[in-house]
Amino acid sequence: MTLDVRDLRVEFPTRRGTLTALDGISFSIAPGEVLGVVGESGAGKSITGLAIIGLLEPPGRIAGGEVRLEGKRIDNLPHDQLRRLRGRQIGVIFQDPLTSLNPLYTIGRQLEETILAHLPLSRAQARAKALGLLREVGIPAPEARYAHYPHQFSGGMRQRVVIALALAAEPRLLIADEPTTALDVSIQAQIIALLKRLAAERGAAVMLITHDMGVIAETAQRVAVMYAGRIVEIGAVRDVIHAPHHPYTAGLMGSIPRIAAKRTRLVQIDGAMPRLNAIPSGCAFHPRCTRRLERCLAERPDLVPAGASRAACWLHAAA
């Protein structure tokens, strides 16, 4: 396994007590595999990504569990070692390409610096590699664009540059947090195709964080559905989409509008995702759940086999 996360717990100590943002998160990603992490705002999907790369905003901290990259523990590494690891072995792509690029440097220079910081190459070799990367991510005429600044690129082209940057040091793990959310649908389709091709060609493990189940359906092999800081269902994308087992996943799938010949009323999950300081007891979804049982109010369910996937729901617990 390229990435192995076991029982990850993230806390935010505040004056009014400690908030638990993530609890009992476990999953792994194999080389060349794309794992989708899906959830609505506040589910904890971005915090999961940030915790893995050691970029939690203080006072947020990892309070339990472990993160292993190719078998080696990385959650307890000192700051400077982790920094070297990021970039070298983990590439990161954020939603807004403008925040990932320095507006004062040409994209060629940014790529070269990144390559030289991580790989033992000469400047000429780094330049050749940078041009190769730009070509690989589909920037037309990379030689001509090499000396251009980020503002001279369109949104879609900028995101391609960010992907090239993330790939510069040939990382084993790629974490993409909402990589297509800021883009128009025709550009999104191109970026999805690109991510998919690169993961397959390079054998890198990809953690794709998004709120968009459609993007997951197009890109990922497996998907983890998050709710209020926990994974509520995890399994092969096809199983989770066609036969969701957790009532939240089922509601989520039914609430997504689809282009279909016959129009039906959307499934509605009443209420909203709880805030971190008011996570309900037992199963955090129980106040919104139409199928809740007595024990859902008091006891918290763990992930158990449900059909071909695993779901954290008492409906699937062995009697």
Partner 1 sequence: MPLLRLENVTRDFDVSRPWLNRVLEHEPRRILRAVDQVSLEIENGETVGLVGESGCGKSTVARLIVGLYEPTAGRVEFRGRRLQMIFQDPYASLNPRWRVRDIVAEPMRFLGTTARVEDLLVQVGLSADDGEKYPHEFSGGQRQRISIARALAGEPDFLVCDEPTSALDVSVQAQILNLMSDLQQRLGLTYLFISHNLAVVSQVADRVGVMYLGRLAELAPAAALFSRPRHPYTRMLLDAVPDLGMSGRPRTPVRGEVPNPLAPPTGCTFHPRCPHSNERCRREVPVFADGVACHAVAEARI
Query: Footprint of partner 1 on this chain (CB under 8 A)?
Result: 40-41, 154, 156-157, 184-190, 192-193, 211-215, 217-218, 237-238, 241-242, 251-252, 254-261, 263, 265-270, 272-273
| Cβ nearer to partner 1, comparing 122 with 268 | 268
Give the contacts of 50 (CB within 8 A, at least 6 positions apart).
Answer: 56, 57, 60
Residues 130/112, Cβ–Cβ less than 8 Å: yes
Distances (CA, A) of 149 to 134, 210, 285, 305, 306: 14, 28, 47, 51, 51
Can you tell me the distance from the alpha carbon of 311 to that of 315, in angstroms, rounded to the nearest whole number? Answer: 9
Q: How far is the CB of 62 from partner 1 (least distance, A)?
A: 26
| Cβ nearer to partner 1, comparing 251 with 301 | 251
Residue 134 one-letter amino acid: L
Can you tell me the distance from the alpha carbon of 191 to that of 227, in angstroms, rounded to the nearest whole number? Answer: 27
| Cβ nearer to partner 1, comparing 130 with 240 | 240
Q: How far is the CB of 22 from partner 1 (least distance, A)?
A: 19
Q: How far is the CB of 228 from partner 1 (least distance, A)?
A: 13
Q: How far is the CB of 262 from partner 1 (least distance, A)?
A: 9
What string of DSSP letters covers 38-89?
E--TTSSHHHHHHHHTT-PPTT-EEEEEEEEETTEE-TT--HHHHHHHHHHT
**Three-state DSSP state, 110:** helix
Q: How far is the CB of 278 from partner 1 (least distance, A)?
A: 12
| Cβ nearer to partner 1, comparing 106 with 181 | 181
Q: How far is the CB of 148 from partner 1 (least distance, A)?
A: 15
Q: How far is the CB of 215 from partner 1 (least distance, A)?
A: 6
| Cβ nearer to partner 1, comparing 105 with 149 | 149
Can you give the length of the chain in residues?
319
| Cβ nearer to partner 1, comparing 69 with 183 | 183
183 backbone dihedrals φ, ψ, rounded to 5°: -110, 155
Closest by Cα among 31, 22, 7 to 170: 31
| Cβ nearer to partner 1, comparing 261 with 318 | 261
